[in-house]
Amino acid sequence: MHMLIFTGPVGVASLAAAATAAAAAARGSRTLLASIGPSHAVSTLAGVPPGGNPQPVGPGLDAWCLDPLADLERIWSALPAGSRIAGDELPVIPGTDLFLAVASLRTLAAGYDLVCVDAGPPDTLLRALGVPDMFRWMVRLLLGLDRGPGRSSASVARALVPVGLLPFPMEWTSNLQEARVRLEQLRDETVAPTRARVRYVLRADRVGLDEARVALPALQLFGLAVEAIIAGPLLPRTDGLAPLVEEQEDVAARAAAVWPGRPVLRMPAGPTPVGHAAPASLGATIYAAASPLPEAPLAPPVRLSGPPEPGAALDLPGLPREAIGLTLSGDELVIRAGIYRRHILLPEGLRGTTAIKAARQGETLIVRPRV
């Protein structure tokens, strides 16, 4: 099973996801169109309400929209605490809906060749991908609890509120540590290039291009490999729209120059493709003679290596030099990509030292020991 994640402007990413799913189904792939974004434009396109199980919308094509409140209530009711606090009293913490969706898709995706996921705007997706880092910071550096990957005794010494001072039973702290480890594992398993990759939907104007030059490399910073760009909706060339069309053509050409290793596909403007036949026709136009299915396997955007040659390599294509920031915090490397930031646990050989150096080689940021 392959997973394609579509992110971009609200509604436009949904069009690209629906068109790709319908085109793949038309070529014989058993396909699921899933929506985990906040607006569920897929619900309008496919006529499927949020919640429940996938519903057929065409030959070889099913659709499903996440209902985070219902999923949260279902998971909560299975916990011992669920008998004391009703599930409908719980708030949905920003970012947790992504992990609720991943948990659901692990069950729902069985039997499909391809899952096309409308993940909504990149800002929402990136904030969700940062939740495990925030949780790790809280558990390790705030409370001094540590277990599993990246374990460091320095966490206890640096704790702002040592857990020994808190009236929590050992079972509670053990569960908290296990949750921290599992949350990071779930994020890393989900974004692995062998399992998923991104098709970034580019709003074809200068503002959209500037946003993409930060959001696209930020997705890579969190481990999601971007394999293609879909520019659109592109207006037809007419006399009255000539200035807009020229800007769109210029942006598409510049995108191809900024990200030369990734195809820039074209999505034409048109009426909302509701149903099955219209999205399939749009998908056939976007992909033309190419296949809508994922291409050859991609290299992980984040590559960490330990001794004898410790280092970190991060592919950040198109990110302006002034948008990059690096901070060393204990055994974590804090990397800024514009307004986004990720805390990466350094591999053995780079921990416990400030003697490291970083250099950019092409679109890759290389971090190594200073010799």
Residue 234 has pLDDT above 90, yes or no: yes
User: Average pLDDT, whole number, for the chain?
Assistant: 85
Dihedral over Cα of 193, 198, 199, 200: its sign = negative
Per the structure block, which two tokens stand in for 9? 């402007």
Predicted structure pTM score = 0.88
pLDDT per residue over 316-327, tens digit each?
999 999 999 999
Residue 53 has pLDDT above 90, yes or no: no
Listed in order, the ranges of the chain carrying CATH 3.40.50.300 are 2-131+189-287
pLDDT tier for residue 148 given thresholds of 50, 70 and 90: low
Residue 182: predicted pLDDT: 81
Three-state SS string over 14-54 comes to HHHHHHHHHHHHHCCCCEEEEECCCCCHHHHHHCCCCCCCC
> DSSP class of residue 7?
E
pLDDT tier for residue 83 given thresholds of 50, 70 and 90: very low
Residue 152: predicted pLDDT: 57
Listed in order, the ranges of the chain carrying CATH 2.60.40.790 are 302-369
Mean pLDDT of 102-124: 88
Residue 79 has pLDDT above 70, yes or no: no
How would you class 313 by CB atoms within 10 Å of its CB: exposed for 0-12, middle for 13-18, buried for 19 or more? middle
* Class of the CATH-defined domain 302-369: mainly beta
Residue 328 has pLDDT above 90, yes or no: no
Residue 358: predicted pLDDT: 92
Of the listed ranges 10-14, 160-164, 227-231, 346-350, the least confidently predicted one is: 160-164
In CATH terms, the superfamily for domain 2-131+189-287 is P-loop containing nucleotide triphosphate hydrolases (3.40.50.300)
Residue 162 has pLDDT above 70, yes or no: no
pLDDT tier for residue 341 given thresholds of 50, 70 and 90: very high
DSSP state string for 189-216: HHH-TTTEEEEEEE-SSHHHHHHHHHHH
β partners of residue 364: 315, 361
Residue 113 has pLDDT above 60, yes or no: yes
Return the closest-CA partner of residue 95 out of 64, 134, 63. 134
Residue 82: predicted pLDDT: 44
Percent of the chain with pLDDT over 70: 82
Return the closest-CA partner of residue 350 out of 315, 302, 305. 305
